[in-house]
Amino acid sequence: MRYMRMPYEAAKSFCERLFVSYGFTAEESGKITDVLLAADLGGIESHGIQRLVRYDREITEGLVDVHAKCETVFETPVSATLDAHDAMGQLVGIGAMELAIEKARKVGIGMVTVRNSNHFGIAGYYAKMASDRDLVGIGMTNTEAIMVPTFARQAMLGTNPIAFAMPADPTDYLFDAATTVIPRGKLEVYKKREKPVPQGWVLDENGLDCTDTARVLDNIIAKRGGGILPLGGSGESNSGYKGYGFGMLCEICTAIFSQGATSDLIYKKPGKAEICHFFAAFDYGMFGDKAGIRKEFSEYLQKVRDAKKAQGQERVWIHGEKEKEARADRLAHGLLLNDKTLDEMRRIAARQGVGAEELERITVPEEG
């Protein structure tokens, strides 16, 4: 695969025009694009423009209702439950987190659970919305079932990511992780390269450890059993039941609190995704002097950064640093997109009758 650099502004302009072509307003298109490109800027290619082909399909096939509005079905001063009515996940996520932030400003904390939504991009985007306002932020989503619980051979939970952000200097702390060992995208990359996956990532159709990438992915698609392991791996030896527990925490906050669809039901009804999300924001000033708390946290993170390194290693990373550094690189030198993604962009643009003049601004081919 060949990687090219595309200026951020060009990609932004292209995506915004494209989303308008589906019927979103200019403001909505700007929001969707911002979430999408936040992934590419942060170096999380799997959740960036390469997903455009998926969003395009879900919008044109009607899983996403372009005109749907989120409805608040239950509310208290500290909480809300929303029915997204199949709206675009990114718009749902931004609106729900804004509501959580508004509640956090009024009463210290806001928790918002959402049902009947669509894929919302990276969970970290929403957690970061809160930390950008000097609040603690949490974002979660369930996804189509792919995580096999400990001792099972049938996927019952999604990759179920949990994101958590807390302000710090010089870089806000931002954790965003699937509760499976790996995300599905990583399996797809190994399949493209025709490489076996390492032991401890996936299970075959009998619930046994397996390294045959193609077989496992085919089984997942055909729903023949097997799937990705929870964080911690198979059986109990390396505590895979803990990843399964964190995945369940996500399921509870998203699907159970909202009385929506659990991961095993997602994408099962024709024309509906039924994905559920959870967002929380709270003001850490509820525990005392904000400046003091922020300073102590920043100093602790610096001590962790300065910890003695493992032999052969040069750096201990704090969550959020890699994304921040990737962002600086991508803003200066352009997003990294592979030729397959660029072809998809051209094809979608042509079908939507949208010009793709921004794609002429790809100037720096680069090896990926």
Of 50-58, 205-213, 339-347, 359-367, which part binds a copy of itself (CB under 8 A)? 205-213
Task: Give the whole-angstrom CA distance, residue 189 versus residue 334.
Answer: 22
User: Per CB under 8 A, which of residues 265..294 are in contact with a copy of itself?
Assistant: 282, 284, 286-289, 292-293
In our burial notation (b when 16+ CB lie closer than 10 A, e otherwise), range 136-171 reads: bbbbbbbbbbbbbbbeebbbbbbbbbbbbbbbbeeb
Q: Among 59, 233, 275, 349, indicate the residue that binds a copy of itself (CB under 8 A).
A: 233
Helix or strand holding residue 138 (H, E): strand 136-141
Question: Phi and psi (nearest 5°) for 10?
Answer: -70, -45
74 forms bridges with which residues in the sheet? Answer: 81
Closest of 82, 57, 69, 71 to residue 24, by C-alpha: 69
Of 2-10, 73-81, 211-219, 332-340, which part binds a copy of itself (CB under 8 A)? 73-81
- Cβ nearer to a copy of itself, comparing 24 with 278: 278
If one asks whether residue 72 binds a copy of itself (CB under 8 A), the answer comes out as no
Q: Quote the least distance from Cβ 239 to a copy of itself, whole Å.
A: 6
Q: Quote the least distance from Cβ 176 to a copy of itself, whole Å.
A: 9
- Cβ nearer to a copy of itself, comparing 35 with 114: 114
- Cβ nearer to a copy of itself, comparing 94 with 156: 156
Of 10-18, 49-57, 102-110, 338-346, which part binds a copy of itself (CB under 8 A)? 102-110
User: Per CB under 8 A, which of residues 234..253 are in contact with a copy of itself?
Assistant: 237-239, 241-246, 248-249, 251-252
User: Per CB under 8 A, which of residues 209..228 are in contact with a copy of itself?
Assistant: 225
Question: Which long-range contacts link 357-361 to residues 24+ away (Cβ below 8 Å)?
Answer: 358/6, 358/10, 358/11, 358/13, 358/14, 359/6, 359/10, 359/14, 361/6, 361/7, 361/10
User: Per CB under 8 A, which of residues 7..66 are in contact with a copy of itself?
Assistant: none
- Cβ nearer to a copy of itself, comparing 198 with 365: 198
Any idea which residue has 């307003």 for tokens? 25
- In sequence order, the 6+-apart residues with CB closer than 8 A to the CB of 298 are 168, 169, 170
If one asks whether residue 190 binds a copy of itself (CB under 8 A), the answer comes out as no
Q: Quote the least distance from Cβ 154 to a copy of itself, whole Å.
A: 4
